[in-house]
Amino acid sequence: MIREHCGIFGISGNPNAVKNTYLGLYALQHRGEESAGIASAYNNEINVYKGLGLVADVFDIQKTYKISGASAIGHVRYSTTGNTTLSNAQPIIAHYKDQTFAAAHNGNIVNAGVLKKRLIKEGIKFETTSDSEVFLKLLIKNLKYGFEEAIKKSANIIKGAFSIIILTNKGKIAAIKDCNGFRPLCLGKTEKNYIFASETCALDINGARLVKELDPGEILIVNKNKIKSVKNKKRKKSFCIFEYIYFARPDSIIFDKTVYNVRKKFGEKLAAESSAKADMVIPLPDSGNYAALGYSQATDIPFELAMIKNQYIGRTFIQPEQIMREIGIKIKLNPAKEILKNKEIAIVDDSLVRGSTIKMTTKILRKAGVKKIHLKIASPAHKYPCPYGIDFSDKKELFAANKTIDEMKEFFKIDSIAYLSIAGLLEATGIKEPENFFCKACFDGIYPVKFDIGAGNNSCV
């Protein structure tokens, strides 16, 4: 299983800002389950409420709805292993004279390590091991140029993939996207208020309409419902194509396309590239659902939901150790044996990263009496690590980087395996000139921004 990265949210100029943020975080829960936090600006101060766990565990809805604040930002987090501490939960805050700033960040600042060392040498103290604090400390250092210029200067020093929302104690909110625009961040609007969110599902829950996806390098500042764009340099777009494959919620509009439709197109394209004779198409739930639907509709092979997912598995079984992963998969998935017995099936999943889920699933399917298994992966072979904030940073862990197709068949004990091609993936997005639109480095090893894995490995991802 790929563990998601962070979700961020911000709203300005609404007496229900905290309530809106709570709802926004609920909608963004899939982007991070380790911690949740809200910072609200009230009476010239910033109050932060955060804890480890899911939004519903961290916040008591009755109490949360009573918290005052006309502007608020929020964060749900997933981190790399070893960093699940409350001090690293976001939003994080920093003070400078009578000013306080809170930051909610999604992404990975690849030069955070170098910048932090430099700032420490200058006498600046750090309280967390999070990359996001590096941005806040840079912001404070540059405040002598004024808030807007400080945001711009700081955003242009840090490198990598980041979408950040900053809240000031006066209730101003700034939304910043890196110069390549790796991570999604959109602007929405209710009748009176502007909202920033990682995905549009967090706008929907608050009754807001989508205004736009922020451009790479774009900086927007909202103050008392007035919005201002700060001019900044732009670079080539490198939107993370994995948002379409796995991360984003299917009902979200990401990079101007509804994720549901794009995932279905991946399945259709996969069918065009590698159709198989089969009695039924089944998804690996839930990640494979939409691609499997597309595959089934394109091939006219019946779609069956024959692997049943236990919806109540919670976080207990999201464990890094292999043995726990295996128990987790057994608890999570159970086959409808009568449907599957003696059948030839095409099983569809969105991606294949480490292979542990597929290995267990094919074992379960064989036990259920399936005659033949054709594995269909609705994305290309995943051979390269992601330095931009996703939890697959080591090539040794990447299944496709270490096995041939025959070795994969043998390992999973299946009859065939097919991946969607890179060209097919790009074409299926329906984006014009997709080569100039997406990062796809985990498939082709062509990295849009130079990186130093390890320099920023305590990042929020």
Residues that bind ligand SF4 (CB under 6 A): 161, 182, 240-242, 386, 388, 390, 439-442
In the complex, what is the shortest distance from the CB of residue 184 to ligand SF4, in angstroms, rounded to a whole number? 11
Nearer to ligand SF4, 197 or 425 (CB): 425
Q: Which residues contact 334 (CB under 8 A, 6 or more apart)?
A: 307, 308, 310, 364
Minimum distance from CB of 5 to ligand SF4 (Å)? 9
Name the packing angle between helices 112-121 and 131-141 (round to 10°): 50
Of 241 and 301, the one with the shorter C-beta distance to ligand SF4 is: 241
At its nearest, how many Å lie between ligand SF4 and the CB of residue 296?
26
In the complex with ligand SF4, the residue whose CB is nearer, 49 or 384, is 384
Question: Measured from the CB of residue 18, what is the shortest distance to ligand SF4 in angstroms?
Answer: 32
Identify the CA nearest to 37 among candidates 87, 109, 3: 87
| Residues in a beta bridge with 76 | 7, 36
H or E segment at 419?
strand 416-419
Q: Which residues contact 115 (CB under 8 A, 6 or more apart)?
A: 109, 134, 138, 157, 158
Closest to ligand SF4 by CB, 4 vs 204, is 4
What's the token pair of residue 354?
A: 């480490």
Q: Choose, from 6, 179, 201, 240, the residue flagged as catalytic.
A: 6
Beta bridge partners, 188, equal 195, 210
- Minimal CA–CA distance to 414: which of 378, 370, 373? 373
Contact (Cβ atoms closer than 8 angstroms) between residue 76 and residue 28? yes
To ligand SF4, the closest distance from the beta carbon of 61 in angstroms equals 34
Closest Cα partner for 161 from 441, 436, 352?
441
Min separation Cβ 107 and ligand SF4, Å: 9
Closest to ligand SF4 by CB, 222 vs 400, is 400
Q: Where are the beta strands (DSSP E) in 182-235?
A: 186-189, 194-197, 209-213, 219-223, 226-230
The token pair that represents 428 in the structure block: 């299926």
The minimum distance between CB 442 and ligand SF4, in angstroms, equals 3
Catalytic annotation on 6?
yes
In eight-state DSSP terms, residue 325 is H
Q: What is the end-to-end Cα distance of the chain in Å, rounded? A: 15
Q: Cα angle vertex 291, ends 289, 296, to 5°?
A: 95
- Identity of the residue, 241 or 278, whose beta carbon is nearer to ligand SF4 in the bound complex: 241
In three-state secondary structure terms, 248 is coil
Question: Which two tokens mark 340?
Answer: 């599957």
- Pairing relationship of beta strands 307-309 and 333-335 according to DSSP bridges: antiparallel
Residue 374 pairs in a beta bridge with 346, 416
Q: Which residue lies nearer to ligand SF4 by CB, 137 or 269?
A: 269
Closest CB to ligand SF4 among 116 and 237?
237
SS3 state at 233: coil
Task: Choose among 42, 63, 41, 39: nearest CA to 50.
Answer: 39
Residue type for 242, please?
Answer: F
Q: Which amino acid is at 310?
A: N
Here the tokens at position 290 are 């939409």
d(CA 250, CA 254): 9
215, 255, 213: which is closest to 233 by C-alpha? 215
Question: Shortest Cβ distance from residue 2 to ligand SF4 (Å)?
Answer: 9
Q: How far is the CB of 186 from ligand SF4 (least distance, A)?
A: 17
Task: Name which of 262 and 441 has its Cβ closer to ligand SF4.
Answer: 441
Catalytic residues, by residue number, are 6
